[in-house]
Chains A and B, each alone.
Chain A
Amino acid sequence: MTFLHFSILFPFLFAVFVPFLYKKFRSIHTGWFVLLVPVLLLIFFLTQLPVTANEQTAISTIDWIPSLGIQFTVYLDGLSFLFSLLITGIGSLVTLYSIFYLDQKKEKLNSFYVFFLLFMGSMLGVVLSDNMVVLYTFWELTSISSFLLIGYWHHRKESTYGAQKSMIITVFGGLCMLGGMILLYLITNTFSIRETILQADHILQHPFMLPALILFLLGAFTKSAQFPFYIWLPDAMEAPTPVSAYLHSATMVKAGIYLVARFTPVFGPAPEWFWIVTLAGLFTMFWASFHAIRQTDLKGILAFSTVSQLGLVMSLIGAGSLAFQFDSIEKNVSIVAITAAIFHLFNHATFKGSLFMAAGIVDHETGTRDIRRLGGLMSIMPITFTVSLFGAFSMAGLPPFNGFLSKEMFFSGMLSLLELNTFHLETWAILFPVLAWVGSIFTFLYSVLIVFKTFGGKLQLEKLPKRPHEAPFGMLVPPVILAVMVLLIGLFPGLVAKSIIEPAAASIYPALYDFHGEFPVHISIWHGFTIELLLTAGVIVLGIAGYIFLPKWKAVYQLFPYKLSLNAAYNNLFKMTGRASRNITRSYMTGYLRDYLAYLFVFFILLAGGVMAYKGAFSFHPAESAPIGIYEVILAAVMIAGSVTIVFSRSRLTAIIALGAVGYTVSLFFIFFRAPDLALTQLIIETVSVALFLLCFYHLPKLQKQERPPGLKIRNLLIAFGVGAIVTIIALSANSQRAGETISEYFLKNSYKLAGGKNVVNVILVDFRGFDTMFEITVLGIAALGIFSMVKLRKSKEGER
C-alpha cells in the first residue's frame, strides 16, 4: 500500500473519527478538523505534479479479489491528476466555506461531515481507480453519499424527494454502467482500464461493442445530468449550498465526464460514440441554457447552467473523439476539442464553485434565493457582487476571464467539425456550431441575469426576510480564492496549460504521449481576429438584446407547460409503474387459496406435460406389465366408486365415509400386492384419520352448496382432469422405462445376514435406512406438539382477551 492508496482511504478512515471529534470537542466547529483531510490530500497531489506534468504516470496495486481479476489498482495520469486536484482543491475550499455556512448548534455536523468525507473518498476512488469493478464500487458510493447529502435536511419533503430522484436516476445509470463493464470484460477478459485500452482495436470489431458503448454512456449521462437525465440535478439543489457547490457543480456531475473521457481511447474510434456524445452534449447545452432563463431560484439557474456547461464539455469530448480518425497529430483539428473540454472542465469547476458559494452567501444573508425578491445588493455586499460578477462573466465567456478562453476553444472545436468529412459530417456539420452558438447566447443571458437581478436594480427591503449585510470574512475567503483563480487563469492560462491541461488531454488521446513536438494547441488570451472572436461578439450583442427585451419574449416559455416537461414525465412514470405493479399484483394475488392452487397445478401441467411433449417421453408397453387379475379389477372399481362419491357427495358425512372406504380398499390392495406391514399400518391409520375427520365434522357447519360462477367449475374440472392425465401418463411411461436393476435384491439377500431380521420391510426401516425413520418420528413428534400448542395456545389467547 502506497500513499496513493492511502489518499483514497484517508477520507474514509477519517470519517470514522468525525462523530467522536464532534462529541468530544463541542466548542470547536467539526469542520476545522475535517478541513485537514482535503488540505493534506491537496498538498500530496501537488507533490505528484512533476510526475504527471512530464506526461508520466504513477501506479500501485493491491490485490482485492485476485481470483476474479479484481485488483485495487490506483493509477495516476494527467486526467486523474486534474480530477484529484479539483476534488481536493474545491473540497478544501468548500469545507472552509461550510464551517461558516453551517451553524454549529443547529445542524447535525457529525453526519454532514461523515457523508462529506465519504463522498470525497469515493470520488477520489472513481477518478484514481484503474480496475473497473473498483471504479464501479466507488461510483455507487458517490451516488449513495450524494443521496445522503441531498437529503441532509431530511425533515423537508423537497429534500427527500430530490434525494430519492437523484438516487433512482444515478443508480439506474450506475447499474447500466456495470452491465457495460461486464460486457467489456467478456470481450477483453480484463477489468483493467489500461489493458482494455490496449485492446481497443479488438473491442471495436466485437459484436458486444455497441451495447457496451450504450450502457457506458447511460451511466455517464445519468451521472453527468445530460439530456434527458438532467432532471435530478435541479431537484438536488435542496441540499445545503456547500454540497451543491461541491457535488453538483465541481465533482460528482463530472464523474460522467470523467468516464466518457477515460473510455474515449476505447470507444472513440467508433462513429456511434462521436454522434451520441456530441449530439447529446450539444443538445443538453442548448436545452438547459434555454430553460435556465425561466428559473426564478438562484440555485435553480445555477443547476441548469451546470447542466448546460456539462453538456458543453461532453460535446467537446465527443468532437475530440474524432481525433482517432487522423493519422498525424500536427494536422489533427480535433485535439483542440479535447483540450477545450479539459480546459473548460477545469474552468467550470472554478467559476461554478464561486457562483454557488456566492449564491449561498446571498441566501444566508438575505434569507431568500428568489431573484424576484432580490435586487440592489451591489452596494451592500460588494465582495459577493464582485465574486459573482467574475464567475458569471467567466461563465458567459467574456474576456478577460478563463471562461472566455475555453468558450473560444469550444467554438473552434465545433467549427473544426466543419472541416471534416468522415462519418458523413459534410451535410450536418453546420448544425454543431449553430447549436453551440445559440446555446452560448442563452448562457450569456442567464449569466447576466444572475448578476443583475440579484445585485442590480432596486433594493426591496420589505420583501426580504432578513436585513442583508456582507457575509463574515471566513465565508468570503473560498469564493474569493476561486474568483481570483478565474481571473488569473484567464489572464495567464500558461499557469495551468502546460502542467495540468496538456497531460490530461494526453491521457484522453494517448498518441499525444508519444508525440514529442510542440503541443499542437495553444491556449492564450489573444488568437488574433478569428471567426471565434466574431462569434463571441455576436453572443454579447444578441445576449444584451435578449436581456433588454426579456419581458417581451418570455412568453415563449408558455410553449413548454409543466405537463409536457420531463419532470412530469418522470413523476408520471413513477406513479404509473407503482400503479401498474399494484394492479398486476392485485390481479393475481387474490387471497383465495383455490386460485393459488390453480396456478400451481396449471404450471405443473404445463411444465410436466410440456417437457413430456417436447422430449417425446411418452411410451407405454402393456406387454411388460403384470397380468391384471379379477380382484384388482373389483378393488379398482370400488375405489373409483368411492372417489366419485367423495367428489359428488352433498354431505360431509358421506364424503368422510367414502374416503374411509377408499382407504380400506387401499389397504386391501396392499394385501393383494403382498405388503402386510403396509396393510396393517394403512388400516389403523385410516381408522384414526377417519375418526379425526368425524371429530372435525362434528364441529363444522353443514357442507354448503356453494354458489360459484359456472366458469370456475369448468376451470377446476379442466385442471383436475389435466393433472390426473399428466400423472397417469408419467406413471405409465416411467413404468415402461426402467433404467436398470433395482436394489431390492440386495435387501432381500442381506437382511438376515447383515441385520439379523427376516422382515425385510422392518429391517429397511430400522436398520438399512433407519435414518429416514428417525426423522419421520421426529415429524410425528412435531405434528403432535403443533396440535397440542395450537389447541392450548388458542385457549390462553382467548383468555387474555
Chain B
Amino acid sequence: MRRTNRKTNDVILQTTVQTVFFIIVIYSVHLFFSGHYTPGGGFIGGLMTSSAIVLLLLAFDVKTAASILPVNYLYVTAFGLLAAIGTGIGSLLYGMPFLKHWHGPVHIPFLGEIELATATLFDFGVYLVVVGVTMTIIQTIGETE
C-alpha cells in the first residue's frame, strides 16, 4: 500500500492477481452459501471477499482498486446492518418474535424445489458488514500518509 515514486513493473503479480482474485471471490461465495451446512458463513465469507479486494490493492494501488470497484464501503456496512435488522423486523410482520427465522422448501421457476432459509438473508447482512468494515478500515488507513 506504500506508494513510491519509483515505477516498478509488477506484471507477474498483477496477472496472477487478476486470475486469483476470481478464484478467491468464488471461494468466498462458496463459503458464504455453504455456511448453513458446512463450516463457513457470512463472517468468513466476508473476510475472504475483502482479502481478495486487498490483493487488488496490493497489486495495483488504492486509486486503481477504487476505480475497479467503485463502491463506498460505508454504504456497504450500512446496507448490511439494514439487511440484518430487516430480517428481524420481517418476522415481526408475520406476528413472530423479533429475529424468528423461517426455513423450508420453495419452488422457484427454472431452478425447481430449493431449500431456503431467511437466516441466509441475515447472514448476507453479516457478510456485507464484514466486507464494508474491513475495506473501510484498510482503505482509510491506506489512504493516509
Instruction: Give every chain B residue within 8 A of A757 (Cβ-Cβ).
Output: 36-37, 103, 117, 119
Instruction: Give every chain A residue within 8 A of B74 (Cβ-Cβ).
Output: 784-785, 788
For chain A, the bracket of interface size reads 35 or more
Residue of A nearest to B47 (CB): A684
Residue of B nearest to A756 (CB): B103
B17 interface residue, CB < 8 Å from A?
no
A781 to B81 CA separation, bound complex (whole angstroms): 8
Q: Per-residue CB proximity of A452-482 to B under 8 Å, as 1/0? A: 0000000000000000000000000000000
Q: Per-residue CB proximity of A760-801 to B under 8 Å, as 1/0? A: 011101110011011001101101110110011001000000
A35 to B2 CA separation, bound complex (whole angstroms): 83
Contact across chains for A684 and B40 when beta carbons are under 8 A apart: no
A698 to B39 CA separation, bound complex (whole angstroms): 35
With A756-B117, A777-B84, A781-B81 as contacts: A787 and B140 at CB distance below 8 Å: yes
Q: Name, among A761, A778, A788, A791, the residue most crowded by chain B CB atoms within 10 Å (CB to CB).
A: A788
Contact across chains for A766 and B137 when beta carbons are under 8 A apart: no
Contact across chains for B129 and A780 when beta carbons are under 8 A apart: yes
A771 to B122 CA separation, bound complex (whole angstroms): 11
Residue of B nearest to A791 (CB): B140
Contact across chains for A684 and B48 when beta carbons are under 8 A apart: yes
Instruction: Give every chain B residue within 8 A of A677 (Cβ-Cβ).
Output: 39-41, 44
Contact across chains for B36 and A777 when beta carbons are under 8 A apart: no
Contact across chains for B77 and A781 when beta carbons are under 8 A apart: yes
Contact across chains for A774 and B38 when beta carbons are under 8 A apart: no
Minimum C-beta distance from A487 to chain B (A): 84
With A684-B44, A759-B39, A777-B81 as contacts: A766 and B119 at CB distance below 8 Å: yes
Instruction: Give every chain B residue within 8 A of A791 (Cβ-Cβ).
Output: 140-141, 143-144
Contact across chains for B101 and A777 when beta carbons are under 8 A apart: no
Residue of B nearest to A695 (CB): B141
Which residues of chain B (77-112) have a CB below 8 Å from chain A?
A: 77-78, 80-81, 84-85, 88, 98-99, 101, 103-104
A687 to B58 CA separation, bound complex (whole angstroms): 15
Instruction: Give every chain A residue within 8 A of B48 (Cβ-Cβ).
Output: 684
A535 to B141 CA separation, bound complex (whole angstroms): 95
Q: Per-residue CB proximity of B106-133 to A under 8 Å, as 1/0? A: 0000000001010100110110011011
A771 to B88 CA separation, bound complex (whole angstroms): 9
Q: Per-residue CB proximity of A725-756 to B under 8 Å, as 1/0? A: 00000000000000000000000000000011
A340 to B137 CA separation, bound complex (whole angstroms): 85
Contact across chains for B132 and A781 when beta carbons are under 8 A apart: yes
Minimum C-beta distance from B109 to chain A (A): 22
Instruction: Give every chain B residue within 8 A of A771 (Cβ-Cβ).
Output: 98-99
Q: Per-residue CB proximity of B45-59 to A under 8 Å, as 1/0? A: 001100100000000
Q: Per-residue CB proximity of B26-38 to A under 8 Å, as 1/0? A: 0000010001111
A568 interface residue, CB < 8 Å from B?
no
Contact across chains for A759 and B137 when beta carbons are under 8 A apart: no
Instruction: Give every chain B residue within 8 A of A650 (Cβ-Cβ).
Output: none
A262 to B41 CA separation, bound complex (whole angstroms): 77
Instruction: Give every chain A residue within 8 A of B134 (Cβ-Cβ).
Output: 688
Contact across chains for B38 and A784 when beta carbons are under 8 A apart: no
A692 to B63 CA separation, bound complex (whole angstroms): 20
Minimum C-beta distance from A636 to chain B (A): 24
A680 interface residue, CB < 8 Å from B?
yes
Contact across chains for A783 and B133 when beta carbons are under 8 A apart: yes
Which residues of chain A (502-551) have a CB below 8 Å from chain B?
A: none
Minimum C-beta distance from A798 to chain B (A): 12
Contact across chains for B133 and A763 when beta carbons are under 8 A apart: no
Minimum C-beta distance from A614 to chain B (A): 42
Contact across chains for B140 and A680 when beta carbons are under 8 A apart: no
Contact across chains for A784 and B133 when beta carbons are under 8 A apart: yes
Contact across chains for B101 and A680 when beta carbons are under 8 A apart: no
With A759-B35, A766-B101, A777-B126 as contacts: A681 and B136 at CB distance below 8 Å: no
With A680-B44, A688-B47, A778-B81 as contacts: A756 and B36 at CB distance below 8 Å: yes
Minimum C-beta distance from B118 to chain A (A): 9
Which residues of chain A (664-696) have a CB below 8 Å from chain B?
A: 676-677, 680-681, 684-685, 687-688, 692, 695
A758 interface residue, CB < 8 Å from B?
yes
With A688-B47, A757-B119, A781-B133 as contacts: A763 and B141 at CB distance below 8 Å: no
A700 to B88 CA separation, bound complex (whole angstroms): 44
One of B80, B126, B132, B136 near A766 (C-beta < 8 A): B126
15 contacts between A and B (CB under 8 A): A681-B47, A684-B51, A698-B2, A759-B41, A761-B41, A762-B123, A765-B41, A770-B99, A777-B125, A781-B78, A785-B74, A787-B136, A787-B141, A788-B74, A788-B137
Q: Which residues of B contact A (CB under 8 A)?
A: 1-2, 31, 35-44, 47-48, 51, 73-74, 77-78, 80-81, 84-85, 88, 98-99, 101, 103-104, 115, 117, 119, 122-123, 125-126, 129-130, 132-134, 136-137, 140-141, 143-144
Q: Which residues of A contact B (CB under 8 A)?
A: 676-677, 680-681, 684-685, 687-688, 692, 695, 698, 755-759, 761-763, 765-767, 770-771, 773-774, 777-778, 780-781, 783-785, 787-788, 791-792, 795
- 9 closest A-B pairs by CB: A756-B103, A676-B39, A757-B36, A784-B133, A777-B129, A784-B136, A762-B41, A684-B47, A758-B37
